[in-house]
Amino acid sequence: MGLARHVVCAMSGGVDSSVAALLLKRRGYSVTGVFMKNWDSLDERGVCSTEKDCEDAYRVCQALDIPFHQVSYVKEYWNEVFSNLLREYEKGRTPNPDILCNKHIKFNHFHKYAIHTLGADAMATGHYARTSQEDEEVFQQQHTAPPPTLFRNRFEVRNPVRLHKGADLLKDQTFFLSQISQDALRQTMFPLAGLTKDFVKKMAAEAGFHHVLKKKESMGICFIGERHFEEFILEVRSPFVEGDNLTDCFISYLEPKPGNFVSIEDGTVMGKHKGWFTLTLGQRARIGGQRDAWFVVDKDVTTGDVFVAPTTNHPALFRDMLRTDRFHWVAIDPPPELARVHMMECHFRFIHQMPLVPCTVTLNMDGSLWICLSKPIRALTPGQFAVLYKGDECLGSGKIMQLGPTEYTLQKSRENFVPAAPNKERPTPEPAS
Ligand SMILES: Nc1ncnc2c1ncn2[C@@H]1O[C@H](COP(=O)(O)OP(=O)(O)OP(=O)(O)O)[C@@H](O)[C@H]1O
């Protein structure tokens, strides 16, 4: 029997990645745990949670008797995720840093570090997701139970690897993985693929990982943590990175751009806002002096006007059509069915865990998609990702760049519709008496 395959497990100091490392070890892999540091300032409680998380990950590695490393992607996170986030806000869009972080950091820089620097055969994370390779391995395990050294298909796979929802549908994280590359996915293992969160917690307790079990689920902006977003984004901090550290040089992340809240119904100025960056379509607008709730339906980045509607389900918030940028297909670009007829039926979501909506997609020449939804949905938001599914497979995603008309604009255009003049040649029918 040859040497056990080497797997580098991304360890956050949380319960999921700790159990992922435990499972890999039990399955006979040679495992190395690696903690990533991507942000290095204090959160709003003045706590630098990174150090504590790193120590927690280290303690799990000690308990499992596996090597531990720490890497810093502070600079890369700043340049490829955070700057991108700021640019998107400046364009009036609402970005998704979690999807960008997986694409650029975990499944790019970290993947390369695991494979090329540490010489691993694969990387692993504690995400709740499954790949088509995991299915083949489970099948082999059940039927022939080969030692991990003989799992040749994972490392010498030829067919495209597909991304599927994990067994715990409530925890499914494929939405956040929808932009990762095929190269990275081919060399990734999701040891929690077939498990539920409850079972994972039970395993952590049995293994004695009490220090990670006590922790809260990670919330807030990926790696930046829980923040009051509006205050954070206008916070006085440095945009410069020196070596691996951010330097403090008192300017804000985004320059505040105040403007007016304008009623969509009659153009009345309802009040003032501090800046449109942090206002997202569909959110409740806090307008001073207004007793009723108003909701953001549109922004004009040139004038700074933010258009608001008086009810949460106002027709100006509903649309059934959107266009993406060049769509990222996880397995096959584009799927054969779409390549053949340029149209495909599948399912859509743009918010993690929102119910899937049936849709028809049309492929454009530049690789972007038009997506027509089976029903209008509320607050489709430019900058968010349109993620597509077929059955339990996550096909990939594209950034929402353009929206179709709202129900409200359609109604308005119908109101203003002037019927064509009656045909003079033909007599107008008499009303029935
Ligand atoms: N700082 C980090 N260093 C190394 N890997 C990380 C780090 N943060 C997240 N990961 C990896 O990404 C996976 C998903 O992280 P995320 O924060 O989205 O989920 P989570 O359910 O809170 O995971 P966990 O319980 O492991 O913290 C983790 O399980 C881990 O493998």
- Domains of the chain (ranges plus CATH)? 6-140+160-213 (3.40.50.620), 259-312 (2.30.30.280), 318-415 (2.40.30.10)
What gap in Å lies between CA 33 and CA 14, rounded to an integer?
A: 12
Active-site option among 9, 54, 61, 222? 222
Residue closest via CA to ligand 1's atom 21 equals 16
pLDDT of residue 103: 98
The residues lining ligand 1, judged by C-beta closer than 6 Å to any ligand atom, are 10-12, 14-17, 35-36, 106, 125-127, 217-218
Q: Note whether 297 and 384 are within 8 A (CB).
A: no
pLDDT of residue 433: 42
Cα 381-166-61 angle, rounded to 5 deg: 105
Residue closest via CA to ligand 1's atom 7 equals 12
Q: Report residues of the chain scoring pLDDT below 50.
A: 1-2, 139, 143-153, 236, 238-240, 247-251, 424, 426-427, 429, 432-433
Sequence letter at residue 35: F
What gap in Å lies between CA 148 and CA 2, rounded to an integer?
A: 10
Report DSSP letters for 111-164, one per residue. HHIIIIIS--SEEE---SEEEHHHHHHHHHHHHT---GGG-HHHHS--SPPPEE
- Maximum distance among all alpha carbons in the chain? 96
CA of 22 to the centre of ligand 1 (A): 15
Active-site option among 61, 101, 346, 394? 101
pLDDT of residue 368: 97
pLDDT of residue 143: 46
Pocket test for ligand 1, best of 7, 17, 38, 226 (most atoms within 8 A of CB): 17
What gap in Å lies between CA 397 and CA 400, rounded to an integer?
A: 9
Please give the model's pTM, rounded to 2 decimal places: 0.87
Q: What atom of ligand 1 comes closest to residue 171's alpha carbon?
A: 21
What gap in Å lies between CA 95 and CA 86, rounded to an integer?
A: 9
346 is catalytic: no
- Determine the straight-line distance between the first and last CA of the chain, rounded to whole angstroms: 96
pLDDT of residue 239: 46
Please tell me whether the interface predicted TM-score (ipTM) of this complex is above 0.90. Answer: yes
Q: 180 in helix, strand or coil?
A: coil
pLDDT of residue 43: 56
101 is catalytic: yes
